[in-house]
């Protein structure tokens, strides 16, 4: 089905659902694409093309349903996306898509729901920088025969959102036998811009650990979903902006934030006595852990709002021979506990909808809390460890 022109007139429930998903994905993609739009007027196309295509298709479906359609892109964004939940739109969705009450914009920013329905990241600068840098780190680590370097880089940027000048220099010199390491750090961190600081300082969220850009009124409030939900969120730390470096925004979004639940899980398992290897074989899995008694598990952590969409993106777990240093006996796809708590059907939808999971009955879907509880607790501080290599 072409995304550049109106599709056919759909008949039947499945076709209506497909039509609804296409409209939702187009509009969501367009909203995400507008995040990097600084108001520079493009003469013939001032809005993201996906947004206009989504508007066209939505308008056509509104006419067929005898409903009023959005009057232009401004109405679509400002009213339909910001004020109306998606289930009030004249579209059909699979019940497992769980669109009830979901809005595409919250506080003027794309919601988690919106970000996951966006088909492609239209912020070209961010997409290219993040993907090229990650690929370069992976390829270089593989070429050097040092795959642990990739894991070590990912762990470092996940843990360090802002670095003072002395910290940054020390970080660059941390791996002197690999000159490329300093280059990776230079490309991962940029100078603190005026927009990222307030009162000469950079705020670092006490929840997700990432830097927070101040709002127009100077207030600092983290917009990450998990932080917004917390009532006990610690006050942000403040770091002197003069000479400091902050993690590039695209790495915050695509590496550090997704990496936080992975690293947190690894440390919780290590606290019970497990030996945990992060990102083995250049991220073939998120981690491989060996319990104190010798039982080994391979783990992939998936922190998604929508199990319906996540089910389509689950891949096959790698299998390695018994003599491989990363060999494991049992596979787990792990979902953070707060996702499962907020959505009781999360695991059921995931298992029923994922073809990859059906093909891998030896892979079990569990919450992070359940996986941690299954690891025997030695009750001895320092008994376990988190490492970046075999």
How many helices and strands (H and E) does the chain possess?
18, 14
Q: What is the mean pLDDT of residues 18-25?
A: 89
Coil vs helix vs strand at 255: helix
130: confidence class by pLDDT, cuts 50, 70, 90: low
50: confidence class by pLDDT, cuts 50, 70, 90: confident
**Using an 8 Å Cβ cutoff, are 378 and 292 in contact?**
yes
The confidence score (pLDDT) of residue 47 equals 66
**Using an 8 Å Cβ cutoff, are 337 and 344 in contact?**
no
Give me the helices (H) in 9-143, please.
13-33, 49-65, 72-75, 82-83, 112-117, 124-143
The confidence score (pLDDT) of residue 253 equals 85
Report residue 223 as tokens.
């917009």
The confidence score (pLDDT) of residue 3 equals 37
Q: Is the pLDDT of residue 219 over 90?
A: no
Give DSSP secondary structure letters for 229-249.
Answer: H-SSPPPPEEEE-TT-EEE-H
The model's pTM: 0.82
More confident residue, 108 or 217: 108
Q: pLDDT digit string (tens) for 271-296?
A: 999 999 999 999 999 999 999 989 99
The confidence score (pLDDT) of residue 218 equals 74
Q: pLDDT digit string (tens) for 174-210?
A: 999 999 999 999 989 998 888 888 888 999 999 999 9
Q: How many C-beta atoms lie closer than 10 Å to residue 159's C-beta?
A: 12
Among positive and negative, which fits the CA dihedral 334, 339, 340, 346?
negative
DSSP state of 174: T
Torsion of CA 133, 138, 140, 142, to 10 degrees: -170
59: confidence class by pLDDT, cuts 50, 70, 90: very high
Q: pLDDT digit string (tens) for 313-334?
A: 999 999 999 999 999 999 999 9
Spell out a b/e string for 32-46, using b for 16 or more CB atoms within 10 Å of the CB, else e.
Answer: bbbeeeeeeeeeeee
The count of C-alpha atoms lying within 13 angstroms of the C-alpha of 105, restricted to the half-sphere facing its C-beta, is: 21
Q: Is the pLDDT of residue 388 over 60?
A: yes
Q: Measuring CA to CA, which residue among 385, 388, 264, 277 is closest to residue 336?
A: 264
Q: What is the mean pLDDT of residues 32-47?
A: 53
Domain range summary for the chain, segments of one domain joined by +: 13-117, 124-249, 253-387
More confident residue, 373 or 19: 373
Q: Is the pLDDT of residue 389 over 90?
A: no
- Burial of 232 per CB tally in 10 Å (0-12, 13-18, 19+): exposed
Give DSSP secondary structure letters for 363-386.
Answer: EEEEEHHHHHHHS-----TTSSEE
The confidence score (pLDDT) of residue 239 equals 92
**Using an 8 Å Cβ cutoff, are 82 and 108 in contact?**
yes
CA angle 362, 270, 331 (to 5 degrees): 5
Among positive and negative, which fits the CA dihedral 210, 214, 220, 222?
negative
Q: pLDDT digit string (tens) for 67-85?
A: 999 998 889 999 999 999 9
Report residue 158 as tokens.
């996940």
390: confidence class by pLDDT, cuts 50, 70, 90: confident
Check residue 286 and give left, alpha or beta (phi > 0: left; psi -120 to 50: alpha). alpha
Q: Is the pLDDT of residue 11 over 70?
A: no
């Amino acid at each position: 089905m072409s995304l550049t022109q109106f599709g056919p007139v759909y008949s039947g429930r499945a076709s209506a659902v497909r039509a609804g998903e296409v409209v939702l994905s187009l509009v969501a993609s367009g909203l995400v694409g507008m995040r990097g739009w600084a108001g520079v007027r493009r003469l013939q196309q001032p809005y993201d093309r996906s947004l206009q295509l989504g508007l066209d298709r939505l308008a056509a479906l509104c006419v067929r349903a005898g409903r009023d359609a959005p009057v232009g892109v401004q109405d679509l964004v400002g009213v339909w996306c910001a004020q109306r939940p998606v289930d009030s739109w004249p579209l059909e969705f699979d019940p497992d898509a769980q669109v009830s009450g979901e809005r595409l914009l919250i506080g003027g920013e794309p919601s988690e729901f919106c970000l996951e329905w966006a088909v492609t990241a239209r912020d070209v600068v961010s997409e290219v920088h993040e993907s090229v840098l990650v690929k370069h780190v992976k390829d270089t680590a593989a070429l050097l025969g040092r795959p642990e370097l990739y894991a070590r880089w990912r762990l470092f940027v996940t843990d360090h959102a802002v670095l003072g000048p002395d910290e940054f220099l020390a970080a660059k010199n941390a791996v002197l036998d690999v000159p490329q390491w300093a280059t990776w750090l230079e490309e991962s961190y940029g100078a603190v811009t005026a927009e990222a600081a307030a009162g000469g300082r950079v705020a670092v969220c006490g929840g997700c650990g990432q830097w927070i850009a101040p709002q127009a009124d100077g207030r600092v409030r983290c917009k990450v979903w998990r932080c917004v939900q917390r009532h006990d969120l610690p006050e942000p730390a403040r770091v002197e902006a003069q000479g400091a470096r902050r993690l590039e925004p695209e790495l915050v979004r695509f590496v550090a934030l997704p990496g936080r639940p992975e690293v947190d899980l690894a440390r919780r398992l290590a606290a019970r006595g497990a030996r945990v290897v992060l990102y083995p074989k250049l991220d073939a899995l998120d981690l491989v852990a060996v319990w104190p008694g010798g039982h080994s598990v391979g783990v992939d952590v998936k922190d998604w709002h929508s199990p319906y969409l996540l089910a389509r993106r689950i891949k096959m777990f790698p299998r390695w021979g018994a003599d491989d240093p990363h060999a494991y006996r049992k596979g787990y796809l792990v979902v953070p506990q707060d996702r499962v708590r907020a959505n009781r059907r999360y695991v059921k939808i995931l298992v029923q909808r994922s073809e990859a999971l059906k093909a891998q009955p030896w892979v079990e879907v569990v919450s992070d809390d359940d996986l941690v509880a299954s690891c025997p607790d030695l009750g001895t501080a320092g008994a376990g460890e988190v490492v970046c290599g075999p």
